[in-house]
Amino acid sequence: MIKDNQKLLNQVHVIIDAVIIVIAFYLAYQIRFDSPLTYSIPSLEIVGYFYPLRIYARILLLLIPGYILIYFKCNMYGPKRSRSRSVAIDTTLYSNLVGIVYFTFLMVIFKQNESGSYSSPFLDYFKVFGETSRWFLVIFFLLNVTLDLIFRFILVTVLRHFRKKGYNLKHVLIVGYSRAAERYIKRLKYNPEWGYQIHGILDDSLSKGQEFLGVSVIGTLEDLPNLLAKNTLDEIAITLSINEYAKLASIVNMCEKSGVHTKFIPDYNNIISSRPYTEDLFGLPVINIRNVPLSNVFNKTIKRAIDIFGAIVALILFSIPMIIVSIIIKTTSKGPLIFKQTRVGLHNKEFAMYKFRSMEQQPPEKEKVAWTTINDPRVTPIGKFIRKTSIDELPQLFNVLKGDMSLIGPRPERPFFVEKFKEEIPRYMIKHQVRPGLTGWAQVNGYRGDTSIKLRIEHDLYYIENWTLSLDFKILFLTFFKGFINKNAY
């Protein structure tokens, strides 16, 4: 039933997406060629002849099927029950960017044929592509993305409302009890808008009737064939404990014979990342323990270019406040203007991190092993202010230019504490697979200064494994609203 519902929903999606493309196309034509806005902006002023709408509309005959195919390839029509809004936005933007590349490609192809070197009824019919306005292309892209996002937001909101009410549910059976089973049950229970109904757990080690968050053990693995034969389940979630993986092959074989959709939730999530990278080694699947998107050369290059540009812009914007703070520090206390502190960065390499000095000078051996405490007498009057407002971190923009740091990334720690934490906190050293940053995912979520190191590392690992440019921009945006004021700075 769920498969039929998903199939019908996807068919409706395709039709509505085609309608959205037509609406965006029509509105873009009106704005570009026949609106007061057109004539009010000099760069958009129409000079000479332009095609009427009935001729321009020929573009849609190639545009619609091309866009729908791109949407399919970009997974716009995949299951949306547990898909977050941020993922949906990223997918929509990416799909439309690919669509515009396709649109531009058609424009170039037909533009090149205008010389008349080759002619055919097909090329003549679509020669309007070669004379398509660039501003029309921009307006169409913006309108199509906006309408797509509005439609998908409304659709997801409506579907989640009905699922909370108990409609369009996906019926699930859990096979095997483990830590993975507990995590899976928690997520489904805490998100009723996803529309999952758990019918029970099959496990050989627990007695019938035992419960976890209201989900009961209803039998052993021997009961699986009978439950599959009833054909009332939409999905089987295999959550065997790691010491029961010898049973996995036979369970998968039974599920595939019945035709029911099967998921495998591994009981080693504490070992591998939530988004592992899988390779195909001539038919042999190889799972990389940790996927680090910033190990990709292209991703590293893009991020580094943005870091350099952002650091230069920030230094220009904050130059006057930095000069004022420098004067106050030098006139109110003895010692250097810039405080250099050894931190551990990319690939466990040590570097000198710069800060405005906010404390009285102290012996290096004391500074290396001590954190600042509440009402610390070593902190200068101006130091309290610049630490609270994070102004003391601004010289690290020079660290960014040098390549020691990035604008966004896990905060670097002192060598003494790195040695301490790597023995106490699992996976702590993974944070050194990327450049440390001025601000990061942990910081904008409140984990700065004297806060839980474990939770800070969890947020750092999430950032490292799920890095995207959009996540960097999101962190940068949040930093301006809640990242500068540090209530945990003393």
Q: What is the pLDDT of residues 162-220, one digit of tens each?
A: 777 767 778 899 998 988 888 889 888 888 878 888 888 998 888 888 888 888 888 88
The pLDDT assigned to 84 comes to 67
488 compared with 337, residue with greater pLDDT? 337
E strand intervals along 378-446: 406-408, 437-439
The band of 428, judged by pLDDT with boundaries at 50, 70 and 90, is: confident
Say what percent of the chain tops pLDDT 70.
81
Q: Model's pTM, two decimal places?
A: 0.57
Give the fold, CATH level 3, of 170-271.
Rossmann fold (3.40.50)
pLDDT, mean over the chain = 81
Whether residue 288 has pLDDT greater than 80: no
Residue carrying structure tokens 């519902």 = 5
pLDDT of residue 437: 94
Is residue 244 over pLDDT 70?
A: yes
Q: Which helix (H) or strand (E) holds 52?
A: none
Q: Are 465 and 291 in contact (CB under 8 A)?
A: yes
- Please give the C-alpha separations between residue 391 and each of 18, 311, 377, 480, in angstroms, as whole numbers: 51, 15, 20, 13
Q: C-alpha distances in angstroms, 113 versus 116, 118, 131, 135, 273? A: 6, 7, 11, 22, 51
Whether 415 shows a pLDDT value over 70: the answer reads: yes
> Percent of the chain beyond pLDDT 90?
21
Angstrom CA distances, 438 to 46, 317, 483, stand at 47, 16, 10
* The pLDDT of residue 490: 45
Which range is most confident: 21-25, 228-232, 397-401? 397-401
Looking at the predicted structure, is the pLDDT value of residue 259 above 80?
no
The residue extents of the domains of the chain are 2-164, 170-271, 297-483
pLDDT confidence of residue 485: 58
Question: What single-letter DSSP state applies at residue 379?
Answer: B
Q: What is residue 273's predicted lDDT score, i.e. its pLDDT?
A: 67
Dist CA 104 CA 91 (whole Å): 20
Q: What is the pLDDT of residues 22-69, one digit of tens each?
A: 999 889 888 877 766 555 544 444 444 566 777 778 888 888 999 999
Q: What is the pLDDT of residue 45?
A: 40
Q: Grade residue 131 by pLDDT with cuts at 50, 70 and 90.
A: low
Average pLDDT over residues 272-287: 73
Q: Which helix (H) or strand (E) holds 223?
A: none
- Res 6 pLDDT > 90: no
* DSSP per residue, 309-336: HHHHHHHHHTHHHHHHHHHHHHHHSSS-
